[in-house]
Chains A and B, each alone.
Chain A
Amino acid sequence: MLAYFLKRTVLMVPTLLLVALMVFLLVHLIPGDPAIVMVGAEADPAAIENIRRSLGLDQPLPIQFIDWFGRLLSGDFGKSITSGIPVLETILERFPTTLVLTTLAMLFSVAIAIPSGVLAAKFRNTGKDYLFMLVSLIGVSVPGFWLGLMGLLVFSVQLGWFPSSGYVPVWQDFWQGLNYMTLPSITLGFFMAAVVARMTRSSMLEVMRLEYVTHARAKGLSEWTVLLKHALKNAFAPTLTTIGIQYGMLLGGAVVTETVFGLPGLGRFVVQSIYGRDYPAVQGCILFIALVYMFVNLAVDVLYKVFDPRVKF
């Protein structure tokens, strides 16, 4: 178990190298030059060249990459070009907001998805099931930003249930903070809820055909015990994998949600950094998010054994 954990952690290094390379290339492929962004296009070419040299941007790309990745390995994410603040410092300051947002979104979606997936499976091929399938189809088709804007319009502006601007972190004032987070996390989690619910439904249906479910009924258990104990625990293992994968989608979706709702999270910082061609900041953030995603999936794989004891590490 511990050995497995260590092995997986070590295996993250090559993955991380690959991600780092891709991030680096993608970021440098974005047209535009940070030096020009900083001083303006009309500035003296000599001044621009000066800045480029001070940022190390005059070096060939491979050198820049090795330089960056080398320092990364020792935990140095570099400094932001625009603000001069160490990138890691900003990440650690902003990530908690994103973590709270995505965690709430995940909790919300799982809380909605599992029961509705189970119910849809129980009432398969009836009106209730078709309604569920329709709603979940809408759920996976509606773009996140549109849903966010609609949510803001209806629940914040029209009904006034939630604040439409401003932000209080949950760790300062839990209830107040939750109030600010509700709408964003529901918006963000809606897509995932639809995906996870569909997955729950199909793996429930898969499991419900199996003999041990008939066996459970033959023991005299109530239909709910059969479904919620015997079927769901088995159906949850594949669902869990989906949840792990979807968490990556949440981290990506957070960029849009944070922008729509004006939350000071990591996603919005990435967007700002891209505008500023702030290479170290963009690269650092994306790499950090990739790392978080890898750990979430490691956790999912370890948790998998709880639901499927046949798995060996």
Chain B
Amino acid sequence: MFPVLKIDDLQTHFFTRTGIAKAIDGVGFHIDKGEIVCVVGESGCGKSMTALSVLRLVPHPGRIVGGEIWLDGQNLMAFSEREMREVRGDRVSMIFQEPMVSLNPAFTIGNQLIEAVRVHRKASRAEAWERSVEMLRRVDLPSPEARMNAYPHELSGGMRQRVMIAEALLLDPVLLLADEPTTALDVTVQAQVLDVMVRAARESGTAVMMITHNLAVVSEIADRVVVMYAGRVVEQGTTEEIFTRPAHPYTQGLLRAIPTLSTAAEDDAPRQPLYEMGGLVPSLTDLPPGCAFCPRCSAAIDLCAAQKPPAFPLGETHAAACWLRRTEG
């Protein structure tokens, strides 16, 4: 069995006037069939670019300069542009962060859904319409038939994101790339929309690569977690491993930064200040030779500044790129 997605030493760089920004600098992880893998990390660490690299849609002036991306055992890097078009939207689909701007304001919902079906399937307009309405119903969009004739601006943010989810799952893809699908929504609808997405993906057996800032969401939906920092994977493991035995100082810092339920609830207890990691993310055009987290790391040793740490396995599914976790052999 091949994993649905396997990324190996991916390098995506941006060739800007001020230099080469290594937005992705050797990312590697995999996603198994039907699995939900959450990718977490600070803003700018390369989460979106990882997703866009999988579709080979990295925007100018960015370019994939190295590494391999395998979909179901097929090397996407070897695909022609034409073959990639057949992958996009059919076998791999993507949900974007901002439902306000990711649907085309000039076309109706129906137009955009029907188009999504008909690029890949030989279906009449009526069949595509049927299928779209069916899918809108599955994501709990109220009165789906009427919504087909609506323009995006006539829907609320939550409804638009439901439309995006419906579109992404229309053709039962093997992989869904969800780039912070609920970040832009009202807190009250975030949970519902997330719930709908996870349920619909599970129903169609679609594996999900879910990008998020929200660790509460991660603990709720993820099977496994990939932690990124400055264009690299610093740690990955099952949700349990990451939350109970975080191995990388950066992951530990991230976890300390979430307000736990207990501190929030106990109003009488002296409020613990939210943990904040000191220091700044290094510039991606000028990464230090060693570990990118080293300048902010309180546990750093001499080796950290000098040499890039490889991923050290800590178990069957758990690995951390940290010199402190160096395993012999």
Q: Give A residues with C-beta under 8 Å from B.
A: 210-212, 214-222, 230, 233-234, 307-310
Name the A residues within 8 Å of B52 (CB-CB).
Answer: 214
Contact partner of B86 (CB less than 8 A), chosen from A211, A220, A307, A310, is A220
The answer to whether B57 and A212 have CB atoms under 8 Å apart is no
CB A157 to nearest CB in B, in angstroms, measures: 47
For chains A and B in complex, what number of residue pairs have CB atoms within 8 angstroms?
A: 70
Known contacts A211-B101, A214-B59, A220-B90: does B120 contact A233 (CB below 8 Å)? no
The answer to whether B151 and A218 have CB atoms under 8 Å apart is no
Q: Give B residues with C-beta under 8 Å from A.
A: 52, 55, 57, 59, 85-90, 93-94, 96-98, 101-107, 115-116, 119-120, 151, 153, 167
CB B148 to nearest CB in A, in angstroms, measures: 14
Assembly CA distance A124 to B104 (angstroms): 22
CB B121 to nearest CB in A, in angstroms, measures: 11
The answer to whether A218 and B101 have CB atoms under 8 Å apart is no
Give the one of A215, A230, A307, A310 with max B CB within 10 A.
A215
Known contacts A309-B151, A309-B153, A310-B151: does B104 contact A218 (CB below 8 Å)? no
Name the A residues within 8 Å of B59 (CB-CB).
Answer: 214
CB A89 to nearest CB in B, in angstroms, measures: 45
CB B105 to nearest CB in A, in angstroms, measures: 6
The answer to whether A211 and B85 have CB atoms under 8 Å apart is no
The answer to whether B153 and A219 have CB atoms under 8 Å apart is no
Interface residues of chain A: helix, strand, loop or mixed (majority): helix
Name the A residues within 8 Å of B89 (CB-CB).
Answer: 218-221
Known contacts A220-B120, A221-B115: does B102 contact A215 (CB below 8 Å)? yes
Assembly CA distance A218 to B92 (angstroms): 9
Name the A residues within 8 Å of B57 (CB-CB).
Answer: 214, 217-218
Name the A residues within 8 Å of B167 (CB-CB).
Answer: 219
Assembly CA distance A307 to B107 (angstroms): 9
Assembly CA distance A210 to B100 (angstroms): 11
Closest 9 CB pairs of A and B: A220-B89, A219-B89, A220-B88, A212-B104, A211-B102, A233-B106, A309-B151, A218-B94, A211-B101
The answer to whether B153 and A216 have CB atoms under 8 Å apart is no
Contact partner of A215 (CB less than 8 A), chosen from B90, B96, B106, B151, is B96
